[in-house]
């Protein structure tokens, strides 16, 4: 019977993928069988992703969630039981860190919202320590033997979060699930996963925590927003975390649909590093490498500074990497992008200080924390960046107590709106701290 753990917990599974014995067992343990499509006001929608299906003679399956396995119109699905009694434990949270006064206030607000099953937004500047703030909330849910999902739209953020959660809840079952993970789904009391994985669940979680709610691919993605709504139990609570919350959420705060905690200060009490702005009179590859950038690279090498360099696109990054190899062979670096299969390993190399620099697209703009680093954005005026992404990128710097004043440098040819607004907002946030 143990292998049922691979299915239980509000999973939506195609009957075609189940052998009949397992199916029978799942149905006897609170599972239900449904048709793969349903009719919603005259539109045929897929039961799993809740998106409309366009049926043609050639295509009778849902194209929206095809990545999670094909669901045909004529299929049947099993929704597995969620009535699970997790073991009672003596102590759940094992963390000896201390919360700042601001974090404590946020925690009180979060616990209060939890008590009232009230959805809540934590708007905290980058490096405010929002992850630590959710520890007491998770503990509270665990004490009530509830089930928790901690989600981010980004795989990298999940991978970073997972060991931190595991470390402070060492006796609780925790799983890490995303499209690139080798770990097969199994029932755990805490699941750390990408928002995308939520499509596979129905009414499964009591506490749903969505980190980086404004980030790609969640921003503006209807299917993922439906998944967030559908995967949580009706009696549960959803917490949204963001340093740059989207307008739609702030509107809900205004209309009192969700409550809000605001944290303007980083956990170490120092202000956010304000970017140094550098106008380039020529492109970054002028004379092979723009002399102003060369100057910065030479300082970096001389002082042995660890550096993250952000690029607007993969081609720009690749061409710059070639120049670096040619002109600065002594600089050890890796470069990563969304298309990079070795991304997680490369990030680890930088984390372990095996390379001095990491070249990256916006894929690492958020969720990752490194100590003592300089942050550089090349072509900060490019359309691939936005005010939000520049704020997030600048927020990678100064995160450690002993290097709160890490430098951030924006290089551009045109001082445009996104650069101006990002710098203005960082400076505004710093002024809010008394
Ligand atoms: Zn679908």
pLDDT digits (tens, 9 = 90+) for 331-356: 999 999 989 989 989 999 999 999 99
Q: How far is the CA of 51 from the centre of ligand 1 (A)?
A: 6
Q: How far is the CA of 219 from the centre of ligand 1 (A)?
A: 19
**Once rounded to an integer, what is the mean pLDDT over residues 418-425?**
97
Report yes or no: 183 and 162 within 8 Å, Cβ to Cβ: no
- pLDDT for 176 equals 96
Q: How far is the CA of 37 from the centre of ligand 1 (A)?
A: 9
**Once rounded to an integer, what is the mean pLDDT over residues 410-419?**
97
Q: How far is the CA of 160 from the centre of ligand 1 (A)?
A: 29
150: which strand partners?
192, 209
- pLDDT for 1 equals 44
pLDDT tens column, 30-40: 999 999 999 98
Pairwise CA distance, residues 165 & 432, whole Å:
30
For the chain, give the mean pLDDT: 94
> Is 276-431 the same fold as 101-263?
yes
Q: How far is the CA of 231 from the centre of ligand 1 (A)?
A: 14
- pLDDT for 266 equals 94
**Once rounded to an integer, what is the mean pLDDT over residues 372-377?**
97
| Residue 155: burial class (beta carbons within 10 Å; 0-12, 13-18, 19+) | buried
- pLDDT for 434 equals 64
Q: How far is the CA of 47 from the centre of ligand 1 (A)?
A: 7
**Once rounded to an integer, what is the mean pLDDT over residues 192-207?**
97
Pairwise CA distance, residues 258 & 178, whole Å:
28
Q: How far is the CA of 217 from the centre of ligand 1 (A)?
A: 17
Pairwise CA distance, residues 120 & 114, whole Å:
9
Question: What are the angstrom distances between the C-alpha of 165 and each of 121, 160, 174, 406, 417?
Answer: 20, 9, 8, 27, 38
Q: How far is the CA of 365 from the centre of ligand 1 (A)?
A: 30
Say which residue the tokens 């550098």 belong to: 278
- pLDDT for 59 equals 80
**Once rounded to an integer, what is the mean pLDDT over residues 49-56?**
89
- pLDDT for 2 equals 52
Please tell us whether the domain made up of 276-431 is placed in CATH 3.40.50.300. Answer: yes
Q: How far is the CA of 39 from the centre of ligand 1 (A)?
A: 13
| Residue ranges covered by each domain of the chain | 2-79, 101-263, 276-431
Is residue 374 scored above 50 in pLDDT?
yes
| Three-class DSSP labels, 242-280 | ECCCCHHHHHHHHCCCCEEEEECCCCCCCCCCCCEEEEC
Please tell us whether the domain made up of 101-263 is placed in CATH 1.20.1250.20. Answer: no
**Once rounded to an integer, what is the mean pLDDT over residues 110-115?**
97
Using a pLDDT cut of 70, give the percent of the chain over it: 99
Report yes or no: 274 and 281 within 8 Å, Cβ to Cβ: no
Q: How far is the CA of 8 from the centre of ligand 1 (A)?
A: 20
Is residue 56 scored above 80 in pLDDT?
no
124: which strand partners?
263
Q: How far is the CA of 270 from the centre of ligand 1 (A)?
A: 46
């Amino acid at each position: 019977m143990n292998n049922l753990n691979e299915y239980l917990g509000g999973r939506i599974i195609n009957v075609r993928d189940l052998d009949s014995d397992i199916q029978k067992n799942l149905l006897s343990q609170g599972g239900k069988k449904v048709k793969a499509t349903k009719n919603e006001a005259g539109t045929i929608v897929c039961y799993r992703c809740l998106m409309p299906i366009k049926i043609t003679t050639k295509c009778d399956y849902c194209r929206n969630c095809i990545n999670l396995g094909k669901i045909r119109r004529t299929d049947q699905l099993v929704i597995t039981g969620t009535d699970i009694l997790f073991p009672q434990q003596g102590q759940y949270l094992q963390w000896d860190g201390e919360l700042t006064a601001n974090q404590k206030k946020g925690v009180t607000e979060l616990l209060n919202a939890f008590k009232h099953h009230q959805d809540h937004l934590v708007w905290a500047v980058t490096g405010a320590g929002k992850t630590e703030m959710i520890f007491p909330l998770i503990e509270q849910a665990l004490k009530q033997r509830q089930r928790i999902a901690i989600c981010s739209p980004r795989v990298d953020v999940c991978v970073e979060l997972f060991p931190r959660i595991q470390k402070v809840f060492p006796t609780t079952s925790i799983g890490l699930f995303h499209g690139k993970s080798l770990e097969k789904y199994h029932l755990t009391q805490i699941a750390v996963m990408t928002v995308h994985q939520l499509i596979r669940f129905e009414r499964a979680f009591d506490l749903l925590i969505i980190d980086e709610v404004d980030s790609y691919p969640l921003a503006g993605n209807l299917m993922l927003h439906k998944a967030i709504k559908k995967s949580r139990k009706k009696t549960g609570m959803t917490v949204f975390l963001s340093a740059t919350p989207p307008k739609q959420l702030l509107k809900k705060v205004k209309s009192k649909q969700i409550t809000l905690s605001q944290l303007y200060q980083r956990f170490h009490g120092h202000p956010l590093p304000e970017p140094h702005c550098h106008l380039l009179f020529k492109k970054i590859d002028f004379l092979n490498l723009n002399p102003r950038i060369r100057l910065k690279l030479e300082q970096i090498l001389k002082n042995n500074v660890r550096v993250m360099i952000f690029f607007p696109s993969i081609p720009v990054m690749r061409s710059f990497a070639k120049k670096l190899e040619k002109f600065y062979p002594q600089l050890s670096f890796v470069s990563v992008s969304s298309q990079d299969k070795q991304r997680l390993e490369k990030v680890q190399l930088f984390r372990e200080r095996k390379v001095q620099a990491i070249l990256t697209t916006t894929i690492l703009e958020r969720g990752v924390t490194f100590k003592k680093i300089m942050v550089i954005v090349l072509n900060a005026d490019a359309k691939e960046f936005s005010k939000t992404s520049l704020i997030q990128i600048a927020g990678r710097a100064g995160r450690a107590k002993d290097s709160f004043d890490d430098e951030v440098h924006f290089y551009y040819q045109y001082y445009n709106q996104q650069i101006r607004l990002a710098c203005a907002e960082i400076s505004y946030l710093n002024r809010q701290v008394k």
